[in-house]
Chain A
């Protein structure tokens, strides 16, 4: 349970990090919070020749909340975002999801961007970022590019990142007025990866109907799965009990979730229906608040 030897690099500037990564290519892994990478090193599931520690790059340790939205640098710890009252107010669904990420001891080290780059299909943050319509800012020695969260996740533990690229920042656009949201999950033990998680967003219109609903699930597919068929069922409805029953049934009828050591595909399908229904109920709970002062 000890990491294999590696060459350790600690750049202090982003350009230095990009240059190193360009030279080392796929012989290097980026170390940020290390809460996913170090277990893999300890197990020797990975034994990269080089580790590029970006924790001393001060430029990456910043986040900002403006009229445009939230920008989170690659060095920002999950706990910092969780503890910001301004971010909780602006993006309650992100805050709720964060409180479900592992345990506080992990969130004290783990970074937002690190979890996204790791791209675990059962993790909370990827599905939330897809629901929020976030953009990934990716840099390399040859240039920068931005990728939508929905296109960033390719497969379990596989993202759109090339070996010489660093996910330097994630941008979360400001939510439209009167947006309500919820994050729900079912885990075997507190702090575990979810059997199924769901991030939901929507807006209540003046007629008391939900619009622009987004439902994105983690744990059911190799990437965060947007349930467009379920969104189509609920959009324009008042989310009555009957609608919730219909959605739950539809989710159970339509999905063919991943089967793994933790649970069967059949049980996961049932849990997904329950998690989606619970999330939608939480949107119902916020109907009054959304039509009030906010």
Chain B
């Protein structure tokens, strides 16, 4: 009754999960108390997802699950069974930064970079819902993540540049 019998492991405190991470699907045996964040970092080996507070306040660990930005420190890996996970490593393709990452770089939107992956994943999810046209919308989109060294002005500029260029592409096509 505890876990799906077909997937139960001899070791009682572990479960098999099947997840798609940045487009590639794989099965993993995970300890049930393992957070999704620790799973991504230590078991999958993708260290771009960072852990700041580990209780849901800072947003550094934000990843996208089934198109929604979530805190990966507030989920257990076992709960992600069957889902599609996107991390910061999925943004650049063959070493070429995504347009949002380019805008971050061009607008000095980071210094130490610790919080950056969380910001990027929050913003990628938000920009899929629609463009961000104003500074207040940009600040709202940033509000679920905390940066303690750079401040937010560069990020606001990067977002607005990015949103304008998306709209520019749409208008020209």
> Which residues in A have some Cβ–Cβ distance to B below 8 Å?
1-11, 16, 20, 34-35, 38-39, 42-43, 51, 53, 55, 79, 102-106, 108-109, 190-191
Contacts and interface: CB of A to CB of B under 8 A. Distances in A.
A100 B71 CA distance: 18
Contacts of B54: 1, 42
Given A105-B122, A191-B143, A6 B56 contact: no
Given A5-B33, A10-B2, A10-B4, 14 more contacts: A1-B55, A2-B35, A6-B32, A7-B2, A9-B3, A10-B3, A10-B78, A11-B1, A34-B74, A39-B56, A51-B32, A103-B144, A104-B122, A191-B143
Contact of A53 (B59, B62, B79, B144): B79
Given A35-B56, A39-B55, A106 B144 contact: yes
Interface string B68-98: 1111011110110000000000000000000
A8 B32 contact: yes
B71 to A, nearest CB: 6
Contacts of A3: 33, 35, 76
* B interface, size bucket: 20 to 34
Given A103-B143, A104-B144, A20 B1 contact: yes
B1 A109 contact: no
B64 to A, nearest CB: 10
Interface of B: 1-4, 12-13, 15, 32-33, 35, 38, 54-56, 59, 62, 68-71, 73-76, 78-79, 122, 126, 143-144
B150 to A, nearest CB: 18
A147 B60 CA distance: 39
Top 5 A-B pairs, shortest CB-CB distance: A103-B144, A39-B55, A1-B54, A8-B32, A108-B68
